[in-house]
A and B are shown apart, each in its own frame.
Chain A
Amino acid sequence: MERSVRVAVFVLALVPLARIVAQVLGGGLGGNPIEEMLHRTGWWTLAFIMLTLAVTPVRRLTGIGWLVKLRRMLGLYAFFYATVHFAVYVGIDQFFAWEYILEDIGERPYITVGFTALLILVPLAATSTKRMIKRLGGRRWNRLHRLVYVAAALGVLHFLWLVKADIREPVIFGAVLATLLGYRLVAGRLKKLGSLAWFGNSRPSLRGAEEQGR
């Protein structure tokens, strides 16, 4: 069960990219395919960040402990889509016009925050291995990886500042993120109060690292 779910998630997570590639080749991305590639890879980056952040609450609420094993994979997929997103921007949208790229990153707030979010994800991806968890120690690793909350918030801001008038989608992402972070806040408080019982039986909240590292 565990294994087949993991394989299924691994394969499913590649479907959005496969669809984009297929449509680029088949001409199904509309009149402005480069912009469409950017929007879709960006959208999936946010989606995978949200999925990653949903693992812990879902695991607690359902009591299915092995779900944590999906977390690293989903997190790495978020980083993967963010990297593809950035690569499309640099290599296709701007065609390596570094002068403009640097101006964008420095002067366009939505690009500044998006780029910052990507930079934040780099050390998190780099320390995702079992070995790095051991080297850093669970506590430090956990503290470092809480940066994903910042990256997620910047990612939503990146989307919000990009759109012209229709803020619906970035607002939905923002609400999802607020819910996922709000859960942690409430769960943390309740744990302190020692009344975790109704909140889904589980282990203490910040032991994810060791669990993931197995």
Chain B
Amino acid sequence: MLIRRPPDIRESEVTDEGLYIDRRQFIRRAAAAGAGLGLAATAAPLAALGGDAGAMQDDELTPYDVVTGYNNFYEFGIGKEDPAKNAHTLKVRPWTITVEGECNKPGIYDIEDLLMRYPAEERIYRLRCVEAWSMVIPWLGFPLADFINDLEPTSHAQFVEFRTLHDPEQMPGQRRRVLDWPYVEGLRMDEAMHPLTVLSVGLYGKTLPNQNGAPIRLVVPWKYGFKSIKSIVSLRFTREMPPTSWAQQAPNEYGFYANVNPEVDHPRWSQSRERRLGEFRRRETLMFNGYAEQVAHLYEGLDLGRNY
């Protein structure tokens, strides 16, 4: 895996901006980088993207053990600790992504080629689960837009649909029909092309652990976690809004957009606050998970109460 150092911003500038001043965090990140691929991780990409510095002030990285030990990945079991226990059965090589639909470059893309072509950079994002807990994760990945641009979607492409591997041998959780397998997710084209949207191949400077969606997964930080589909094997450009898994499962509870929104409660629980894992007190949930500045314009004129 090639890892590109975040461009443009020097470490000193990051410090000057007063971000990530917490020493524990610094040490943890340094340790992560050292243990990983020797990457000199910096917080630059987020700063470069104009992250809401005020909101980021107290965003400490969630410990590696929690990020990799507390997962919703029903393909490996329902319990939060099941994926870490069971995901070893997933074979992440060879791995391909089948590209179909409204584009000029459909085909079968090998993960190794993607890793060569799109160097991974670090993105520190908040992850807000629809269940009202959250983490802060240093992902490694590349913008989905880079990949999509190379696939040359046609003017008919309105949405991108993603699918997770469907193989009950490798994913024992699929033997029970908890969801209608395979897991399907989707984004509007403008959401998919947004610079915050990444395909992740690693975290904490290391290759993505199986339970976190290896070998390649989506990360859309302003949406509830279930939008960030794991272990992707297919990508399809469509004219119609894709039938996404949770929206199919419970249409009155989960919508296509699934933007983090403290104003719009889940029918059964409040979304106004969240528990950041590792913290005792709940904290206020931020509009678009704190990325409003970057993404709110995508939804101008859209009724977010209706289009949850």
Contact = CB atoms under 8 A, between A and B. Distances in A.
B112 to A, nearest CB: 32
Contact of A95 (B65, B179, B281): B281
Contacts of A92: 280
B78 interface: yes
B212 to A, nearest CB: 13
Contacts of A104: 270
B275 interface: yes
A97 B284 CA distance: 13
A66 interface: no
B175 interface: no
Contacts of A109: 268
B133 interface: yes
Interface stretch (B66-74, B156-164, B292-300): B66-74
Contacts of B179: 165
A95 B69 contact: no
Contacts of A23: none
B230 to A, nearest CB: 16
A97 B249 CA distance: 32
Contacts, number: 49
A100 interface: yes
B282 interface: yes
A30 B268 contact: no
A165 B178 contact: yes
A30 B70 contact: yes
A211 interface: no
Contact of B66 (A31, A34, A94, A161): A31
A94 B273 CA distance: 10
B70 A32 contact: yes
Looking at B65, B80, B179, which has the most chain A CB atoms within 10 Å of its CB? B80
A164 B131 CA distance: 9
Nearest to B253: A164
Given A31-B66, A32-B277, A94-B282, A100 B270 contact: yes
B282 A31 contact: no
B268 A166 contact: no
B69 A30 contact: yes
A32 B80 CA distance: 9
Interface string B119-141: 00000000000010100000000
Contact of A108 (B69, B133, B268): B268
A165 B268 contact: no
Given A95-B280, A164-B131, A30 B269 contact: no
A173 interface: no
Interface in A26-77: 30-32, 34-35
A30 B81 CA distance: 8
Nearest to B67: A31
A108 B269 contact: yes
Nearest to A163: B78
Contacts of A95: 280-282
A31 B131 CA distance: 14
Interface in A119-169: 161-162, 164-166, 168
B198 to A, nearest CB: 23
A53 to B, nearest CB: 27
Interface in B249-278: 249-250, 268-270, 273, 275, 277-278
Contacts of A30: 69-70, 80-81
A35 B74 CA distance: 18
A115 interface: no
Nearest to B254: A164
A31 B69 contact: yes
Contacts of B69: 30-31
Nearest to A166: B78
Nearest to B129: A32
Nearest to B80: A30
A110 B268 contact: yes
Counting from the closest, the 3 A-B pairs by CB-CB distance are: A31-B70, A31-B66, A166-B78
12 contacts: A30-B81, A31-B65, A31-B66, A31-B69, A31-B70, A32-B277, A34-B275, A92-B280, A162-B268, A165-B74, A166-B78, A168-B78
Given A30-B80, A94-B282, A108-B268, 5 more contacts: A31-B65, A31-B66, A32-B70, A165-B78, A165-B178
